[in-house]
Structure 1
Amino acid sequence: MEPLFLQSVFKERIWGGRALRDVFGYEIPYEHTGEYWAISAHPNGPSMIENGPYQGMTLDKLWKEQPGLFGNPKGKVFPLLTKILDANMDLSVQVHPDDTYAMVHENGELGKTECWYIIDCKEDADMIFGHNAKTKEELQQQIREGKWSDLLRRVKIKPGDFFYVPSGTIHALCEGTLVLETQQSSDTTYRVYDYDRRDSDGNLRELHLEKAMEVTTVPHQDAVSERVVRENDKTRMTTYVESAFFSVYKWEVAGKSSFSFNDQYLLFSVIHGEGSLIHNGRRYDLKKGSHFILPVGFGEFEVDGNCEMIVSHT
């Protein structure tokens, strides 16, 4: 049994830039590279295994053909998606449906609850997180009249911040923000407002106002998640959220630490530093920008080095 290291898919976005190259050293394919789907089994951009006996197999195929690696799950699709987003410009203001709505209106797609870890951002950065409408009628009126400054709620952010973004939350990352996103494996987004920007063909991008107004939670409710910190040898482990969809942690490694996991597969993204994962006498290099999965039953292993990782599981 080996860790499953992944090669993944980049996405061109109107708001993207070059931070994925400049910060992580990725060979980005576009001048406006906005997203790296780092751990993905979604049909719009599946990751590929780059090592071991499953080398060359896509993650969605591995999920179907080797379910024992994931604890023989009941779900038909790999449930999580890890992305890194480079918001070189403001993203469109958007909202996502829950599972029930998406099942009916999006051909069985999952809903989209997500969360953000702010890797970096410009000084005095902010983002759009929620709205100020008290009723559905007020929400609809302000959207139709374009009263965006009255409607949209802005929140200051800084590197190291974490935000849980349940389905139904109006939100948008803003210029100068680099984020690791953990989300349900869904590509469904309802665009509410896009600053009247035009695409490369000169067309206004499509909005999805009726669906957006149907799924938006009114009034806005901040999701509360209490951070819990514990130490394991030379690793500081911070729990950010434990929800019905995923649990997300940050591991800050400063030396050698021992772990043992058997009952859950784990997703890892190295966001700072470097180190090694040691398992059954083998050493695997961990570097900034690496992404990998530890299968169910992986057992005892060590992590040695100085690095920070975002860790998640269902």
Structure 2
Amino acid sequence: MTTTGLDAERLAPRLLAPNQPGGRPYRGGAGIAHFRGAPAGTDDRVPEDFLASTTTLHGDPEVGLTRLPGGPTLRQAVLDDPVGFLGAAHVERFGADPRLLVKLINPEQRLFVHYHPDDAFARARLGSDLGKTEAWVVVDAPPDGHAYVGFRRPVPVEEVTGWFERQDAEAMLAAMHRVPLAAGDTLLVPAGQPHAVGAGITLLELQQPTDLSLVLEHRAFPGLDEQAALLGLDLATALGALDLGSLSEDALAGLVQHPSEGFGALPQVADPYFRLEQTAVRGRAVLDAAYAVVVVVEGEGRVERPHDALAVRRGSVLLTTHGHGPVEVVGDLLLLRCRPPAP
């Protein structure tokens, strides 16, 4: 679809400014500022940058939404022209929902042990059509970068109940796989798997567009009492969304990539939830027409628009739409395109 006039301008590629809700339960955000080339702020509780977000924080009607420069929220813009933003095939399958949330995440302290519900649990218990499977792309990490993912052995529900009641974080972590992470690594975290991110890592996160987290380790994190940690559920019900089984070494190896250079890919099992594509631009490249959150992870260049061009560099975040058509990129840079599931 080719657009002209106002439609062409409205659907043209645009740069996205940081969108970091404050007052989060854990410290962070300096790594995001560093990656995006912005001055570090004074608020140390802005560890999440919601990119092209049509999703709000759980229980809030507005916080988390991306607001387009001089215009409405992205959510409203998509509702006003779903085919222009998302394409007819996507709208026929999913409606006016991008089916994607992308974040930059940078905890400056180890992130709490938590997990996310799958679609069935979210529908049955939390009033949401979608749960939250997510994937991480590491854009920066300290020498000892790591995360904890999945249980190394089957864990009885009574044992997890005891951990929660005692807030025994050491026991939780001891039962989980410790996964080393460096820049370029990728890791898929299926719904239900317990996980925690180590301090100092900066992640690009692709996820289903909800803010549904069930937190096992809450006592040391401001604003997370038991009710907030369990999204208002009782503990026995909330633990029904936790995968208590053993995540085998082979299964874990299928979720993580440690490339020798560049950035890893996501396993095919991620495709029903989101897609990650890499494009190396060495002079000139054309991106196919698509709704996508495009993150520059290396180099610099420019993105051509109908009447001008956008200068981009490492840390730039760009929103492209299906209705604009192909996008021409010039320079020497590496792009990660975060896309919804295929319709």
Matches of 2:128 and 2:35, distance apart in 1: 36
Larger CA deviation: 105-114 vs 81-90: 105-114
Matched, 1:197 2:220: yes
> Which of 76, 94, 106 lines up with 1:61 in the alignment?
76
Matched, 1:7 2:23: no
User: Displaced runs of 4+ in structure 1, greater than 6 A?
Assistant: 202-205
CA drift at 1:104:
2.4
> Which of 65, 81, 87 lines up with 2:101 in the alignment?
81
Matches of 1:22 and 1:239, distance apart in 2: 24
> Which of 23, 34, 42 lines up with 2:47 in the alignment?
34
Q: State the partner residue of 1:312.
A: 338
Matches of 1:265 and 1:198, distance apart in 2: 36
Q: Is the 8 A contact 2:284 2:329 kept in 1?
A: yes
CA drift at 1:151:
1.6
**Secondary structure of 1:164's aligned partner:** strand
**Secondary structure of 1:11's aligned partner:** coil
- Give unpaired runs (5+ residues) of structure 1: 230-235
CA drift at 1:39:
1.8
Which residue identity does 1:41 align to in structure 2? T
Which residue identity does 1:59 align to in structure 2? L
Q: Is the 8 A contact 1:127 1:154 kept in 2?
A: yes
Q: Is the 8 A contact 1:6 1:48 kept in 2?
A: no
Aligned residue pairs, count: 299
Matches of 2:189 and 2:155, distance apart in 1: 20
Matches of 2:112 and 2:303, distance apart in 1: 39
Which residue identity does 1:56 align to in structure 2? G
- The structure richer in helix per residue is 2
Matched, 1:258 2:286: yes
Q: Is the 8 A contact 2:297 2:315 kept in 1?
A: yes
Superposed, 1:1-314 pairs within 5 Å as 1=8, 2-12=12-22, 13=24, 14-26=26-38, 28=41, 30-43=43-56, 44-50=63-69, 55-69=70-84, 70-72=86-88, 73=91, 74-108=94-128, 110-137=130-157, 140=160, 143-144=163-164, 146=168, 147-194=171-218, 196-199=219-222, 206-208=228-230, 209-221=235-247, 222=251, 224=254, 239-242=265-268, 243-259=271-287, 261-262=288-289, 264-280=290-306, 282-314=308-340
Matches of 2:172 and 2:264, distance apart in 1: 36
Matches of 2:83 and 2:225, distance apart in 1: 47
- Give unpaired runs (5+ residues) of structure 2: 1-7, 57-62
CA drift at 1:308:
2.5
Distance 1:92-1:225 versus aligned 2 partners, 3 A rule: closer
Matches of 2:34 and 2:263, distance apart in 1: 27
Which residue identity does 2:99 align to in structure 1? P
**Secondary structure of 2:51's aligned partner:** strand
For 1:170-209, what per-residue CA distance to the aligned partner results, in whole angstroms no more than 9, with x for missing partners?
A: 1111111111111111111000124x41528x97895434
- Percent identity over the alignment? 22
- The structure richer in strand per residue is 1
